[in-house]
Every structure is written in C-alpha cells, then in structure tokens.
C-alpha cells in the first residue's frame, strides 16, 4: 500500500492507492494490503471497495466468486452486494463495510476514512 500525495491527486489524507485499473479485470477483485484488508472490485459499471473479510468468518471475499454486482464467499457461500455490503444469501447475517472509490489517472484509490457499516469499522484506527 502506498499513501498518496494529496497535492498531486486532490484527494484527502484518508485516501490510499490501491492499484492501476488495468490490474483488475471485470468480475475480479484486488486486495489492498491494509489492516483489516480491503477488497477492490471491478464490476460492470465501475470500481467498488468493501471489507475483504467475510462477516461470517475469516475468509477473503476477493478470493470469492463475483457476478452481476455480488460476491460469493468461497468458504460457506454467503453472498454480499458489492455496492452496499448487504447480505444477499446466508450463512452470513451481518453486512460488510464499504468504502468510497475514485479513479485518478487510471489508478484506483480508496478512502479508508469513510468506512460505511459493519463491525469491522471498530478495528480501523
Ligand atoms: S466465511 Fe464467508 S460464508 Fe462463511
């Protein structure tokens, strides 16, 4: 992970560089190496970010199956809406958090200071 130069991008201090847009094919995800980790997804209408850790247990959602705006956890097959973090299928019963994403010069940035929803927010400093 690399902190970004806010003078260069115009983004605030909570934003971190994730990866070039070309590194994430449609319906795949990239893990941003922060604690707790964040998954950046490329879906049909753009790039989105959520907590990478499934709210059911400790599986990485970036390693799951992605289709039509949802991600399916590979461990027990819970499904989450990538845009909202809402649970779409059990066994998970808690949503995952989401983060704002912006693209600057073909680089994906995530605002870690704007975590929305879920219990993992309590772990982020
Ligand atoms: S760890 Fe994701 S559904 Fe169980």
Q: How far is the CA of 105 from the centre of ligand 1 (A)?
A: 35
- Specify the pLDDT at position 11: 85
- Specify the pLDDT at position 8: 62
**Beta-carbon count within 10 A of 34 CB:** 14
Q: How far is CA 25 from CA 50, 51, 57, 88, 105, in A?
A: 17, 19, 26, 23, 17
Q: Is 56 helix (H, G, I), strand (E, B) or coil?
A: coil
Q: How far is the CA of 96 from the centre of ligand 1 (A)?
A: 12
Q: How far is the CA of 12 from the centre of ligand 1 (A)?
A: 33
Pocket test for ligand 1, best of 58, 76, 87, 95 (most atoms within 8 A of CB): 76
- pLDDT tens-digit profile, the chain (125 residues): 444 444 467 888 889 999 999 999 999 999 999 999 999 999 999 999 999 999 999 899 999 999 999 999 999 999 999 999 999 999 999 999 999 999 999 999 999 988 887 544 444 44
> What does pTM read for this prediction?
0.87
Ligand 1, atom 1, residue with closest C-alpha? 57
Q: Contact at 8 Å (CB) between 98 and 83?
A: yes
List ligand 1's pocket residues with C-beta within 6 A: 54, 56-57, 59, 73, 75-76, 78, 91-92
């Amino acid at each position: 992970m690399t902190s970004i130069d806010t003078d260069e991008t115009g983004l605030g201090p909570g934003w971190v560089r994730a990866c070039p847009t070309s590194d994430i094919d449609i319906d795949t995800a990239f893990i941003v190496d922060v604690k707790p980790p964040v998954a950046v997804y490329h879906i049909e209408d753009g790039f989105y970010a959520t907590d990478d850790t499934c709210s059911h247990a400790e599986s990485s959602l970036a390693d799951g199956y992605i289709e039509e705006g949802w991600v399916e956890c590979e461990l027990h097959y819970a499904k989450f809406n990538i845009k909202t973090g809402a649970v779409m299928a059990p066994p998970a019963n808690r949503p995952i958090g989401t983060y704002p994403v912006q693209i600057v010069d073909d680089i994906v940035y995530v605002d870690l200071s704007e975590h929305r929803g879920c219990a993992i927010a309590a772990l982020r400093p």
